[in-house]
Amino acid sequence: LVALIGSSFDGEDQSGGPTEIFDLARASEIDGYVILSGALGNFSGPEPLEALLARLPKRPVVSLGMPLTGASALLSEGGGMDSIARHLIETHGLRRMAYISGPASNADACRRWEEWIRTQAEYDISQDPDLVDAGDFMPDSGRLAAERILDRTDPPEAFVCANDAMALGARQALAARGLKIPQDILLTGYDDTEAAATCSPALTSIRPGTYEMAFHAVEMLLELKNGGAPRTETAGTQL
């Protein structure tokens, strides 16, 4: 097992290290690639990842998070946002909710947004554009997006964030405005991270089955190595 850890392509900084580190995957000892494409293509989409694969020796590839040409792919089943929407609407009776999305170039972010809009429409709820803003899946971007929403309109009944990190950032903005969770406003995330589970009150979130996806990605990689054809599968989520 070789783990190559660098930054997302086309990100504003290289806090994870230079992307050139991925070129080390040329090493002859490596038999195949499991690519966290949802994270690495967060700002760029699939093009830089496919360019990377074109530079590397041709080996079996499994992509997690977004389809790549010629590779097997393992994707989240829908976005899990239908569960969040139904929970807030049916359990809490909410109708005026803010949404903080991820980058438009990120396939997971797009799926979650589309599912959020589609599920609200089932309840005859249309998303107020003043209650929508975008971040980059990092905490500071969630805080800034929440501040922009609160600056231009009255506080909503809930903030729905496309991942936990942005929700924790939004939490800071709500606290700075004197809004208490859950007394004044509700807050949800996505990923079921340890930070989301240990904050008080714990964050309502979506568990994407990260361990199961990683395990199955290795199984799919072995299938390719043994002569199988590339295929795409989806993995379930849980509220």
At which residue do the structure tokens 């904050």 appear? 199
The pLDDT assigned to 71 comes to 94
Q: What is the pLDDT of residue 30?
A: 94
Closest of 91, 86, 37 to residue 62, by C-alpha: 37
pLDDT for 78 equals 62
Q: Tell me, what's the pLDDT at 76?
A: 75
Closest among 60, 29, 64, 71 to 216, alpha carbons compared: 64
If DSSP codes are grouped into helix, strand and coil, which group holds residue 238? Answer: strand
Contact status, residue 45 vs residue 105, Cβ threshold 8 Å: yes
pTM above 0.85, yes or no: no
Q: Give the model's pLDDT for residue 79.
A: 67
pLDDT beneath 50: ranges in the chain:
none
